[in-house]
Structure 1
């Protein structure tokens, strides 16, 4: 990979764009961009967590990039680097931007322009692709004492219309509509139902319910994104609690009878839902299973649990230029 320019711009201003590290301010994407006009892009959100004064760790970065490459294939987007190469690029980007604390990485692979001789129109073949990766400092931004949610009147886009397992940029208009409705109604987040009227997911997170010690989450057949944090929680509950999470159809009424509800996602991490549709969930405070999951997840991402070391990629201050 090209190392780009040698003169370092201001802190936090590097981006990886089309095969080179460049000052982020120099990345220019015009109004004719195919991804802008038609939503033909895929993305990921990846977190890095501080683990000391000069070291942080990317959390499950290879899994994120593997999912992005799979998502890109559905839209015939040529990502270029492999998942392992993308992990190396990202660690170098974090070094260049000085992110040794908590940070957030946003890789975006997208359609750019029609290739010569290709007629105008909405299409996937005959359209060039680009890859851009940026990073920024980011800690936790969702209150850990709990949030309120409401069931959205907007339904989750079915997998039969747009692949639910892919993080496609255009699909997130659906999420934005649901979030806007929820916040206007006084809630913190929205919970989608799928076309069958069953629980799918929150606006940008997966949903877990606890009742009588049993834990359930909507299955892949419920039109959910196959969340990487969701997978982490299923593994942690199996390992630490001896609990096998039920991945199944979740009825809307179960949201009103659950002892605990929590959301999982890279951005929100693990967040308790203490109110649903204006009614308290359980006691109205984070429940014991939720708290134990939050603690286990925090130990994992902060490199305090050697049993989950395989999920982490260290980022040291000393750089090895690509």
Structure 2
């Protein structure tokens, strides 16, 4: 994916040009994946730029580091303000993606990370549209299993965790699919490489529970709340591969993917082979929310200007 990063980035509390944001090759995170990140969307509605669920993203941002005793040396309020100011500094008046992250700096080859290890925090942004075809994508079940709490916490958005996702993505692309689905250690659906999974069966939305090694996705949570408000039943329960094949509808959720319909799995058509009516209704509601056209969810938006 090609993208043009904005001119200014935020690095350890200062706004600096992108070409000045450099780190030494001895940075611990480069060697061991000791980095934490978030992906955050901001939407331009022709009048203002709105950051979606900023506070919730930053709460998770801090929480992820706690698993590994990696310190985030700015308050949540400071980081939220920094991201708003970064949008202003770059005069961003297009829908965009914001990537804050923090990481362990020069710490030798020591694996005993603690709260006193040196850390840095940074953020950059870039204009961003659709990650996937909103008319629907194909997915394939990966032979790679999603890691579990038996090995490393799935609830942490750590840089190193996504090596698992890279393997699944490479495999699905080789096999001609748009995206992968990983199973958990019990052979139930877990999630996609960067997205949560939903199926619709008999007008009920079902998504794997956190026990299936699914990330506690913010878009996932948004969809559960939207669906309930629209009058649909929702469940967090294990989903077998066979249940996925028999789903009436399927879609993925994530900051980058937003809500993406799935029209086939392992070459088998889902429902009619087109985005389902419930999926389309949720997508439409979501797009109204992020464009500040639904006052009920105004607390989810942080205006920039």
Q: Same fold (TM over 0.5)?
A: yes
State the Cα distance separating 1:291 from its structure 2 match. Answer: 0.4
* Aligned residues of 1:12 and 1:96 also touching (Cα < 8 A): no
State the Cα distance separating 1:288 from its structure 2 match. Answer: 0.5
* Aligned residues of 2:203 and 2:233 also touching (Cα < 8 A): no
Structure 2: distance between partners of 1:202 and 1:120: 32
When the two structures are superposed, what TM-score results if normalisation uses the length of structure 1? 0.91
Give 1:165's match in structure 2, choosing from 144, 155, 176. Answer: 155
Residue aligned with 2:36, SS = strand
When the two structures are superposed, what TM-score results if normalisation uses the length of structure 2? 0.96
- Hey, what does 2:35 align to over in structure 1? 41
State the Cα distance separating 1:11 from its structure 2 match. Answer: 9.1
- Hey, what does 1:313 align to over in structure 2? 302
Give 2:275's match in structure 1, choosing from 269, 286, 291. Answer: 286
State the Cα distance separating 1:121 from its structure 2 match. Answer: 2.6
- Hey, what does 2:87 align to over in structure 1? 94
Aligned length: 301
Structure 2: distance between partners of 1:120 and 1:51: 47
Q: CA RMSD in A?
A: 1.4
Structure 2: distance between partners of 1:135 and 1:11: 6
**Unaligned residue ranges in structure 1 (runs of 5+):** 1-9, 317-322
Matches within 5 A, 1:285-304: 285-304=274-293
State the Cα distance separating 1:101 from its structure 2 match. Answer: 1.2
State the Cα distance separating 1:12 from its structure 2 match. Answer: 2.3
1:21 matches 2:15? yes
Q: Which of 79-88 and 260-269 deviates more?
A: 79-88
4+ runs of 1 displaced by more than 4 Å?
A: none
**Unaligned residue ranges in structure 2 (runs of 5+):** none
1:85 matches 2:78? yes
Q: Which of 253-262 and 243-252 deviates more?
A: 243-252
